[in-house]
């Protein structure tokens, strides 16, 4: 089992052929390389780290207020044009410093270093890697340093600056690389750890993304705060999420396509286009994760619960586990506000009743009865007549046979009272 500070890439995906691109790039004109995730404004000063381990490339026009250069490092100007000072046509008016972040060395198995159309919000971090039937692409003009995997990974093709490589030519490229802007670091065994071949999946129960399991360092992942009560953490996710998950053991007779059709039918039945799902496989275990694309509404949890109830028993060959997150925080907060409001409203009403009957002093008012001035000796907020809601001898019998009675709590008031009794004429 995988555990400890280093999170695992334990779940391997049911793979579909796709293009997977390498993301890290020290190009100056990329938003991700700045601390606030935005390119600098013409009036802002760009502050570089004290030391740059790699090369920072300026490929397109850049307009900044100024540079605070590193003590040690290298900036390369390609076809880009660097201009200092504000631009009259710029709509950006922010000032101050903006910080350039150098991601000098990244790992093949690091979170969020790959992008692909097949990835969505439900895809675990452990499965956001190239699979055995994927084409790996390192974009033209990108600047990076990558540590190659320790465990051998199988891919369909590797393209570097638009040129395809097989296993032999890729090894030769890494060993004799001349492009200083793009550096590949051999693994601890002094190998590339990459095997390039055209492999096909022929199992009806699906194939794992990679046979050899890698590890992902989740300490490099920035997790957002879940917007639900009791968030879940599916296998392979570095962060807790809102939604639902089902995992179960299968054998070779399991039909992955039939299960996928069930999931899609349930989602379509909810009529919600704001749902995405991911089906992954490790060894003989299938995992389904369903989440909302945007704000969590609870629908994804309902879908997982529905799928769990509709699954056929013979699909599961061992243990089946399902988990769903709770209500959205905004609904939970609304319920709490209503409860607090009602509580204080009840307290205020009861306090008002108590003060009305027992705490207010007697009020004496001058009156004129039959033209003679005088004083009303007693004026109270309530009448001195108290009506007993039930007689002392009346009882209410419950279904359990226990006798009980209800009496007006004001019946035994110390003040005078008039008892109104029922008569035969009533």
Does the residue 7 lie in any domain?
Answer: no
**Domain membership flag for residue 6:** no
Domain with 69, as residue range(s), is: 31-102
If asked whether residues 325 and 234 sit together in one domain, one would say yes
Asked whether residue 214 falls in the same domain as residue 224, the answer is: no
φ/ψ (deg, to 5) at 69: -75, 155
Q: Are residues 268 and 313 in the same domain?
A: yes
Decide if 204 is inside a domain. yes
For residue 68, list its beta bridge partners.
Answer: 47
Tell me if 262 is assigned to some domain: yes
Spatial CB neighbours of 74, under 8 Å, sequence gap ≥ 6: 52, 54, 55, 56
Please name the helix (run of DSSP H) or strand (run of DSSP E) that holds residue 248, with its range, or none.
Answer: strand 244-249
Select from 102, 119, 139 the last residue of a domain: 102
The CATH number covering residue 283 comes to 3.30.70.2730
Both 200 and 228 in one domain: the answer is no
Provide the number of structural domains found in the chain: 3
Give the whole-angstrom CA distance, residue 246 versus residue 232: 11
209 and 225 belong to one structural domain? no
Structural domain contains residue 279: yes
Which has the closest alpha carbon to 67: 40, 85, 45, 96?
A: 45
Task: State the Cα–Cα distance between residues 144 and 167, nearest whole angstrom.
Answer: 21
- Sequence length of the chain is 426
- Of 260, 214, 218, the residue nearest 12 (C-alpha): 214
Q: Is 106 helix (H, G, I), strand (E, B) or coil?
A: strand
Q: Of 188, 218, 248, which residue sits at a domain end?
A: 218
Threshold 0.75, pTM exceeds: no
- Nearest residue to 24 via CA among 162, 131, 183, 244: 183
Beta bridge partners of 320: 248
User: 271 and 307, same structural domain?
Assistant: yes
Of 294, 329, 364, the last residue of a domain is: 329
Closest CA to 47 of 71, 26, 67: 67
Euclidean distance between CA atoms 184 and 178, whole angstroms: 11
Residue 300 and residue 233 share a domain: yes
Tens of pLDDT, residue by residue, the chain (426 residues):
444 433 444 444 444 568 999 988 877 877 778 887 788 888 899 998 888 776 787 777 788 888 898 888 788 776 667 788 766 666 777 889 999 887 667 899 999 899 999 999 999 999 999 999 999 999 887 888 899 999 999 999 999 999 999 999 999 999 998 777 788 999 999 999 999 999 889 899 999 899 888 888 888 788 889 999 999 999 999 999 999 999 999 999 999 999 999 999 999 999 878 999 999 998 889 999 999 998 999 999 999 999 999 999 999 998 999 999 999 988 765 555 555 566 666 667 776 666 666 655 544 445 444 444 444 344 344 443 333 333 333 332 323 333 333 344 444 444 444 444 444 444
Domain co-membership, 276 together with 201: no
117 belongs to a structural domain: yes
């Amino acid at each position: 089992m995988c555990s400890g500070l280093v999170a695992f890439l334990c779940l391997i995906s049911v793979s579909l052929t796709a293009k997977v691109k390498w993301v890290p790039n020290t190009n100056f004109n990329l938003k991700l390389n700045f601390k606030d995730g935005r390119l600098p404004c013409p009036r802002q000063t760009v502050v570089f780290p004290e030391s740059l381990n790699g090369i920072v490339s300026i490929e397109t026009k850049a307009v900044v207020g100024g540079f605070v250069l590193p003590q040690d490092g290298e900036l390369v100007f390609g076809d880009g044009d660097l201009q200092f000072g504000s631009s009259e046509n710029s709509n950006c008016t922010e000032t101050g410093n903006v910080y350039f972040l150098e991601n000098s060395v990244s790992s093949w198995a690091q979170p969020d270093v790959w992008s692909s159309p097949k990835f969505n919000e439900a895809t675990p971090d452990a499965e956001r890697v190239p699979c055995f039937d994927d084409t790996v692409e390192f974009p033209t003009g990108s600047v990076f340093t990558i540590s190659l995997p320790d465990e051998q990974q199988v891919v369909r093709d590797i393209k570097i600056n638009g040129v395809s490589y097989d296993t032999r030519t890729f090894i030769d490229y890494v060993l004799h690389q001349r492009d200083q802007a793009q550096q590949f670091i051999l693994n601890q065994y002094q190998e590339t750890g990459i095997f390039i071949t055209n492999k096909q999946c022929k199992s009806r129960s699906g194939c794992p993304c990679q046979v050899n399991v890698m590890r992902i360092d989740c300490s490099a992942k920035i997790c957002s705060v879940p917007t639900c009560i009791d968030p879940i953490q599916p296998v392979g996710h570095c962060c807790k999420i809102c939604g639902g998950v089902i995992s179960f053991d299968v054998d070779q007779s399991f039909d992955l396509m039939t299960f996928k059709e069930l999931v899609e039918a349930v989602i379509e039945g909810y009529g919600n286009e704001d749902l995405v799902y991911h089906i992954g496989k490790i060894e003989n275990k299938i995992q389904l994760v369903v989440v909302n694309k945007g704000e969590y509404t609870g629908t994804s949890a309902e879908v997982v619960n529905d799928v769990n109830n509709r699954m056929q028993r013979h699909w599961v060959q061992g243990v089946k586990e399902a988990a769903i997150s709770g209500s959205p925080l905004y609904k939970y907060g609304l319920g709490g506000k209503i409860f607090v409001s009602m509580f204080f409203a009840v307290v205020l009403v009861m306090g008002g009743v108590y003060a009305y009957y027992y705490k207010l002093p007697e009020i004496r008012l001058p009156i004129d009865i039959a033209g003679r001035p005088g004083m009303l000796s007693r004026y109270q907020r309530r009448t001195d007549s108290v009506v007993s809601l039930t007689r002392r001898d009346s009882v209410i019998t419950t279904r359990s046979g226990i006798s009980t009675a209800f009496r007006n709590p004001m019946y035994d008031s110390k003040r005078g009272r008039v008892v109104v009794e029922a008569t035969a004429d009533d």
